[in-house]
Amino acid sequence: MRIDPRRWFSRKTLGKDAAAGLVLGIEAVPDGLAAGLLAGVNPLAGLYAYLFGMVGAALATSSAFMAVQATSAMALVVSDAGLGGFPDPDRALFTLAVLTGVVMALAGLLRGGRLVSFVPTAVMTGFVTAIGVNIVLGQLSNFTGYQARGPNRLLKTVDVFLHIGQWSIASVVVGTIAILIIVVLLPTRLGSMGLVVAVVSGSVVAVVLNLWVADPVVLLRDIVEVPRGLPAPMLPSIADMPALIIPALSLAFIGLVQGAAVSAGIPTKDGRPADANRDFIGQGVGNLVSGIFQGMPVGGSMSGSSLIVQAGARSRLAMFIAGAVMAALLFVASDLVSFVAMPALAGLLMVVGWRAVKPSRVYSVIKTGPLPTAIMAVTFGLTLLIPLQFAVLVGVGLGVILYVAEQSNRVRVRRLEIVPDGRIRETDPPAVVPGGGVLVLQPYGSLFFASAPVFQRQLPEVEADSGGSVVIVRLRGTDQIGLSLVDVLRRFAEQLGEVGSSLKVVATEERVIAQLDAGGLTADIGAGNVYKGTEWIGEALRRAYADAQDEIARG
C-alpha cells in the first residue's frame, strides 16, 4: 500500500474540497461531542476521535470520501464496556481505541473483508433497530435532567418516567428546541448543518435560562474543562489490554461492517469499486491515531461520508481540511464550545436514534419467513438487555447459525434419467428405490455436516423389493462433503447391499474422492465403484451408467 500525498492536492478541486471540508469540520464538532456523551465518557474524547480518527484514516483508506468517525453503534459499545471499573478510565478508553485499531488493521491485512458477508440481514436489522432504540433511551437522563437509576437502559427508562416530577423543565425545553430545529431543518438545503444550528440555538437558550432558573441546565463546562488547543499524545496501557479484548473485537466487527457498507455505497473518484480490505486498514490507522491523541474508537460513518460527498468534495483533501477546521475551532473557540448544552446534544442524539429505526426494513425481514424474524427478534432483545459487546458477539453467532441452517436446508436431491437418444432428463426422485434398474441421483446445494440429515431424508427408501438395482450418486459440482455425508452414503450402501443392490459414486474433485476414502466408503463399495469425473460433462456418469446396466444384466 503506497501513499502518495501529491495525489491529494489539485488546484482544480481545491475550492470544492475546501468548502466541503469546512462544512464537515463545523458539523463534526457537535457530532463529536454527542458521540462522547452517548459513550458515557468525556465528550471531548468524541471530539478528538472525530478529528484524529478522520485524519488518520484518510492517510490509508481506499475510499477517498470515507469519513471515519465515532459512530453511534460504537459509542454504545464503549458505554457498555465498563471502563469506569478501570484504575484510569480515560486511559482505558484510549487503550481500547488503540486495541480496536490493531484488530481492524489485522483484519484488513488478512483480507477479512469477506467475513462481513456472513452477517445476515436479519441480524443486522435487529441490531441496528435496537441501537436506535438504545440511543433514544440512553439520552433520556440528559434530556430530562434527571439521573436515572437501573442496571440497563430499559429499567432506567422506567425510572425516568416514574419520576416525572423531578425532571428539569429547563432541560426539557432546551432539548425539545433542539429536536424541533433539527426536524424542521434536515429536509431543507441546510441538511446536516441543521444539527449545528440546533445545538447552537439550544445552547444559547440554555445559557439564557441559567440566568434565572433554580435548576440550571447542564453545560459542557460543568462536566469537563475544555482546554485550548489539541491534546497531548498518550501511550496505551498494556496492563488494561487483556480485559479490553472482547469489547475491542466487538467494536472492530461493528466498524468493519459499517465500513464495508460505506465502501460499497460511497463512490470512488474513478468509479472503480473500493478495496474493502484497504479501508479496514485505514480504519485501523484511524483508531490508532485517535487512541494516541485521547480519542475514542472510530469506524466508517455513512452519514459523515454522505455529507462530504453532498457538500461537493472532489478528493480526500477535504478530510484534512475538515480536521484543520476542527483544530482551529479548538484553538480559537474553545470557550464557546464549553457552553454547549447537554440536553441539546441529547436532543440531537435522540433524532439520530429515531432515524436509525427503519420499519420498512423490519417488515421486509418479517416477510421472508419465521426463522429470520425470530433471529431478528432475538438480536433486538439481547441488544436491549445485555451489554452491547456481548450482544454483538451473540449476533455474529446467530448469523453463523442462520447461515448454516439456510445452507443445510437448500440441499435438493434430483433424479437423472438418461434416455436412449443420449439426453438427460431431470425429475423428482422416487420415494422407494425401484427394483432391477439403474437409479441416478444428483444432489444440489452445500453438502456439509449440517446438511447431512436433510440429504438423508431426501434419499429414496430401500425396501425388500428394491433388490437387483444399482444406485449412482453423482457429486459433480461438489468440492467437499465431509465425514457426516460419507456416513450417510455408507449407511445407504449397507441398506442397498442387504437387498442385493449396490451403490456407485461419481465425483469430480480430488478432495471429494479423498474424503470418500478417508470415511471408509471406498473400501465398503470397492474402488471400482468410485468414478473420477473428467473435463467432459457426463462422460464419467455415462461410464458408470453403462457399467451398472452390465452389472444388472449379469445378475
Closest CA to 516 of 477, 544, 481: 481
Least confident range from 12-26, 38-52, 465-479: namely 12-26
Give the HSE-up count for residue 502: Cα atoms under 13 Å, Cβ half-sphere: 18
CA distance 470 to 230: 79
In one letter, which amino acid is 156? K
Sign of CA dihedral 390, 391, 393, 397: positive
Q: Give the span between the Cα atoms of 418 and 440, in whole angstroms.
A: 9
Q: Supply the pLDDT for residue 248.
A: 94
206, pLDDT greater than 90: yes
Q: What cell does 220 get?
A: 459542557
Confidence grade of residue 267 (pLDDT, cut at 50, 70, 90): low
Which DSSP string do the residues of 139-199 spell out, in sequence order?
A: THHHHHS----SSSHHHHHHHHHHTGGGS-HHHHHHHHHHHHHHHHHTTSTTTTHHHHHHH
- pLDDT over 90 percentage in the chain: 43
Mean pLDDT across the chain: 87
Q: Which helix (H) or strand (E) holds 317?
A: helix 317-332
Q: Coil, strand or helix: which one is 231?
A: coil
**Strand boundaries in 239-395, DSSP class E:** 299-301
pLDDT above 60 for 5 = no
DSSP state of 427: E
Neighbour count for residue 403 (Cβ, 10 Å): 17
Strand, coil or helix: 350: helix
Contacts of 374 (CB under 8 A, 6+ apart): none
Q: How confident is the model at residue 118 (pLDDT cuts 50, 70, 90)?
A: low
Spatial distance between the Cα atoms of 292 and 323, rounded to a whole number of angstroms = 16
- What's the order of all strands across the beta sheet hosting 502-507? 424-427, 412-418, 438-444, 470-475, 502-507, 530-532
Q: What long-range pairs does 460-464 form, CB within 8 A, spacing at least 24?
A: 460/429, 460/430, 460/431, 460/432, 460/433, 461/431, 461/432, 461/433, 462/432, 462/433, 462/492, 462/495, 462/496, 462/498, 462/499, 462/501, 463/432, 463/433, 463/499, 464/499
pLDDT at residue 265 tops 70: no
DSSP 37: H
More confident position, 539 or 311: 539
Sign of CA dihedral 210, 33, 38, 236: negative
Average pLDDT for 45-74: 89
Rounded distance, CA 48 to CA 296, Å?
A: 8
Say whether pLDDT at 6 is over 60: no
Looking at residue 242, its pLDDT comes to 94
What single string gives the DSSP state of each residue in 68-128? EE--HHHHHHHHTS-GGGSSSHHHHHHHHHHHHHHHHHHHHHTTGGGGGGGS-HHHHHHHH
- Cα(502)–Cα(492) distance, rounded to whole angstroms? 9
| C-alpha cell, 457 | 431424508
* 138 residue type, one letter: G
CB 501 within 8 A of CB 538: no
| Domains of the chain from N-terminus onward | 15-81+89-403 (no CATH), 412-554 (3.30.750.24)
pLDDT at 269: 61
Q: Supply the pTM of this predicted model.
A: 0.72
User: What is the CB neighbour count within 10 angstroms for residue 277?
Assistant: 20
Kindly give the pairing relationship between strand 424-427 and strand 412-418: antiparallel
Alpha helices in 266-301 (DSSP H): 276-292
- Name the packing angle between helices 359-368 and 121-138 (round to 10°): 150
Under the banding of pLDDT at 50, 70 and 90, the label for residue 114 is: low
The per-residue DSSP string of 467-503 comes to TT-EEEEEETT-S--HHHHHHHHHHHHHHHHHTT-EE
